[in-house]
A and B are shown apart, each in its own frame.
Chain A
Amino acid sequence: MILNEGRVIVELMVNHESRTVTVRPSDVLLDVLRGQLGLTGAKPGCKNGDCGVCTVIFDGWPVKSCLVLAVEAVGHQILTVEGLGGVAPVQKAFVDSGAFQCGYCTSGFLMVCHALSLNKPRAEEYEIEEWLQSNLCRCTSYKEIREALKTVFQSLS
């Protein structure tokens, strides 16, 4: 059984690298990624699981990092937008489709779209809609984001 009390030193696998951090068990993953690892791509937004700007990929599935404890991530694979390296098909598609305005929500949308393209390369229309509903874009670039994702699926098929 794992039992963490007080400040603990743990190893996290982030973007395929092992990183050592000192955390309190009540620290959320978002704060540790940003504050200790300098990975500021995951943004703080509502911090309540609603907006999706803090989305990262946890063992292949999107999660809101404001609702994950850092200690829970031990032994799991975390991928942040920095781990996409600027070369993921979704990133190119977002640029080509102009799928952002202010850009604050972009990293969260990229992670959801990347996870969807990996998990469901033949995603149906209703699945695309459901996955994208997890994130908010206050500039309302929804149409362009959807178009960007569609171009990724076209290139996969």
Chain B
Amino acid sequence: MIASDFIYCRPDTLKEAATVYAKLAGEGKSPVYYGGGSEIITMSRAGSIAPGAVIDLKSIPECKVLEQNGAALMIGGAVTLRSIRESKLFPLLGAAAGRIADHTNQCRITLGGNLCGTIRYREASLPLMLTDAEVVLYGSGGERKASMLTIFRERMRLLPGEFICGVNIDARYLYAPFMHIKKTANEKIDYPLVNVSAIIIDGRIRAAFSGLCAFPFRSMEIEAVLNDKTASISSRIDKAADLLPAPALADAEGLSQYRIFVLKNTLCNVLERLRHDFK
């Protein structure tokens, strides 16, 4: 049971959502946008948040879009992970979505909720960073577009009252060779110890990580060493592991040294498996 009360709004349009957010915020109701609710409900039940209002985005047509339209795939912010995976329209994102929580939860968790959640892993961000997706945002100032690499720095940097309407992915990236490996400490369904997403674009590898540091990241420095054909695979991997943007996590899932060990093995596996596409 959630002890606190909140107002539940389900707007039908983008404008209604932004307007009701501004109104409720003005009344001091601390509204939050609501996708699948998995994080909002669990945190509200535990008493770690107490929103005065939730604004459910699932009746807004633009937030429910999942279609390829010529040059881009459009995915609405309220599309579930299950729908993304089953559509097979972007297999790398489908693979990442298929490893978040479990299948039943994937029937509820939304793309926007995963990208904006407070849990540090935000695994759906990796394929979007690798393909530098265009993020479509909506707020009181109307629509705004931003590239994933500029707006996702450790976490989504949204303006107050803004929400993710959807993301657009360039069609030329959708079926590029990829690997997505999620290593967990024990069970298959668990938070990641190390999560590596990699894709080959124009013969070069791009890689993004979650679970390794306190935030998901893609690093151009790491990609530069992984693409250095003059060095052996093992020395590229050793150099990559020295270039983490923050200390490797040490928690109940694993010590930092163990995470680095798992990272190196996983990268070795990725480079080995993708070597034919990776010139």
CB pair A1–B9 under 8 Å, yes or no, is yes
CB pair A47–B45 under 8 Å, yes or no, is yes
**Least Cβ distance of A62 to chain B in Å?**
5
B-to-A contact residues, CB < 8 Å: 1-2, 4-12, 16, 20, 36-38, 41-42, 44-45, 54, 56, 58-59, 82, 98, 101-105, 107-108, 188-189
Bound form: Cα–Cα A62–B12 in Å = 25
**Least Cβ distance of A112 to chain B in Å?**
7
Most interface-central of A6, A25, A26 (chain B CB within 10 A): A26
Count contacts between A and B, CB distance < 8 Å: 98
Residue A150 at the chain B interface, CB threshold 8 Å: no
- Sorting the interface of chain A by its residue count into under 10, 10 to 19, 20 to 34 or 35 or more gives 20 to 34
CB pair A63–B101 under 8 Å, yes or no, is no
CB pair A48–B42 under 8 Å, yes or no, is yes
Chain B residues within 8 Å of A55, by CB: 104
CB pair B37–A61 under 8 Å, yes or no, is no
CB pair B8–A25 under 8 Å, yes or no, is yes
Bound form: Cα–Cα A80–B32 in Å = 30
CB pair A130–B103 under 8 Å, yes or no, is yes
**Least Cβ distance of A116 to chain B in Å?**
9
Chain A residues within 8 Å of B12, by CB: 1
CB pair A1–B11 under 8 Å, yes or no, is yes
CB pair A67–B82 under 8 Å, yes or no, is no
Bound form: Cα–Cα A24–B6 in Å = 8
Given contacts A3-B7, A4-B7, 7 further A-B contacts (CB under 8 A): A2-B8, A25-B7, A28-B45, A49-B105, A55-B104, A68-B41, A130-B102
Chain B residues within 8 Å of A27, by CB: 1-2
Residue A22 at the chain B interface, CB threshold 8 Å: no
Closest to B107 in A: A61
Chain A window 1-43, contacts with chain B (Cβ cutoff 8 Å), 1 for yes, 0 for no: 1111110000000000000000011111001000000000000
Closest to B1 in A: A31
What are 13 A-B contacts defined by CB distance under 8 Å? A1-B12, A25-B8, A26-B2, A26-B6, A27-B2, A49-B38, A52-B104, A64-B104, A67-B36, A68-B37, A72-B8, A133-B102, A135-B104
Chain A residues within 8 Å of B44, by CB: 26
Chain A residues within 8 Å of B54, by CB: 25, 69
Chain A window 69-89, contacts with chain B (Cβ cutoff 8 Å), 1 for yes, 0 for no: 101100000000000000000
**Least Cβ distance of B28 to chain A in Å?**
15
Bound form: Cα–Cα A73–B1 in Å = 17
CB pair A133–B188 under 8 Å, yes or no, is yes
Chain A residues within 8 Å of B8, by CB: 2-5, 25-26, 69, 71-72
CB pair B41–A69 under 8 Å, yes or no, is yes
Closest to A48 in B: B42
Bound form: Cα–Cα A24–B12 in Å = 21
Bound form: Cα–Cα A135–B105 in Å = 11
Chain A residues within 8 Å of B9, by CB: 1-4
Chain B residues within 8 Å of A1, by CB: 9-12, 16, 20
Closest to B17 in A: A1
Bound form: Cα–Cα A48–B38 in Å = 8
**Least Cβ distance of B134 to chain A in Å?**
28
Chain A residues within 8 Å of B104, by CB: 52, 55, 62-64, 112, 131, 134-135
Contact status of A67 and B41, CB under 8 A, knowing A5-B7, A134-B103: yes
CB pair B6–A133 under 8 Å, yes or no, is no
Chain A residues within 8 Å of B4, by CB: 26
CB pair A69–B37 under 8 Å, yes or no, is yes
* Of the residues A6, A49, A61, A71, contact of B101 by C-beta under 8 Å: A49
CB pair A67–B6 under 8 Å, yes or no, is no
**Least Cβ distance of A58 to chain B in Å?**
8
Contact status of A130 and B98, CB under 8 A, knowing A49-B105, A61-B107, A63-B104: yes
Bound form: Cα–Cα A16–B9 in Å = 26
**Least Cβ distance of A70 to chain B in Å?**
10
Most interface-central of B38, B45, B104, B105 (chain A CB within 10 A): B104
